[in-house]
Amino acid sequence: MPDPDAPRIRTALPADGEALGLIDRLTWSPLHAVQPEPQPPYEPFFDEGHSPGDHLVAELDGRVVGYVRIGFPTPLACNAHVRQIQGLAVADEARGRGVGRALVRAAVDESRRRGARRITLRVLGHNTPARKLYEAEGFEVEGVLPQEFLIGGEYVDDVFMGRPVQPPGPTT
Q: Which residues are at the interface with ligand COA (CB under 6 A)?
A: 27, 31-32, 88-90, 95-101, 123, 127-130, 132-133, 136
Q: Which is nearer to ligand COA, 82 or 89 (CB)?
A: 89
Q: Which is nearer to ligand COA, 114 or 132 (CB)?
A: 132
- Shortest distance, CB of residue 159 to ligand COA, whole angstroms? 9
- Shortest distance, CB of residue 122 to ligand COA, whole angstroms? 7
| C-alpha–C-alpha distance, residues 51 and 10, integer Å | 14
- Shortest distance, CB of residue 96 to ligand COA, whole angstroms? 5
- Shortest distance, CB of residue 1 to ligand COA, whole angstroms? 21
Sheet of 63-71: strand order equals 8-11, 55-60, 63-71, 82-90, 118-124, 154-164, 140-151
Q: Which is nearer to ligand COA, 25 or 95 (CB)?
A: 95
Q: Judging by beta carbons within 10 Å of its beta carbon (0-12, 13-18, 19+), is residue 118 exposed, middle or buried?
A: middle
| Count of H-run helices and E-run strands, the chain | 3, 7
